[in-house]
Amino acid sequence: MIRTILKKNDMVMVITGADKGKRGKILFVDRKRGRVVVEGVNVRKKFVRPSQDNPKGGQIELPYPINISNVMVFCDKCKKAVQLGMKIDGDTKYRICKKCGKRID
C-alpha cells in the first residue's frame, strides 16, 4: 500500500508523460496500485457493445488511471505544481503548500 497525501477532488497538475502540463481534478485514488484518475487526463476511447443503456453501442471516452508519481498538487496562490507539507495545530492536522505556506484543505 502506498501512503500518499493526495485526496479526491484535489486540483493536480501532470508533471510527466503525454499529458504533461494538463490540470484536472482527482476523481479516484487507488492507493493499493498507486494510481489516480484525473478528469480530462489520459482520456481513451472505449468501444462498447449495444445494451439497454446504450442501444446503438459505439465508442465512449473514459479517463484512465495514471501513476500517482506523475502528478503534483496545484497551488492557486503560487500558480504552479508544488509539494505538500503537513502542519499540526493542536489536535487538527492539515496540508500546506511548501512554497507559500497556504493551507490546501
Cα gap 15→92, rounded to integer Å: 30
Predicted pLDDT of residue 1 = 47
What confidence tier does 2 reach under pLDDT thresholds 50, 70, 90? low
Pairing of strands 11-14, 71-75: antiparallel
pLDDT digits (tens, 9 = 90+) for 10-57: 999 999 999 999 999 999 999 999 999 999 999 999 999 999 988 999
Exposure class string for 49-63: b at 16+ Cβ within 10 A, else e: eeeeeeeeeeeeeeb
Q: Is residue 14 packed enough to be buried (19+ CB in 10 Å), middle (13-18) or exposed (0-12)? A: buried
Predicted pLDDT of residue 9 = 94
- Fold (CATH) for 11-49+58-97: SH3 type barrels. (2.30.30)
Cell numbers 488511471 correspond to 65
The pTM score is 0.84
Ramachandran class of 91: left when φ > 0, alpha when ψ lies in -120 to 50, beta otherwise: alpha
More confident residue, 2 or 39: 39
pLDDT digits (tens, 9 = 90+) for 44-97: 999 999 999 889 999 999 999 999 999 999 999 999 999 999 999 999 999 999
Exposure class string for 33-46: b at 16+ Cβ within 10 A, else e: eebbbbbebbeeee
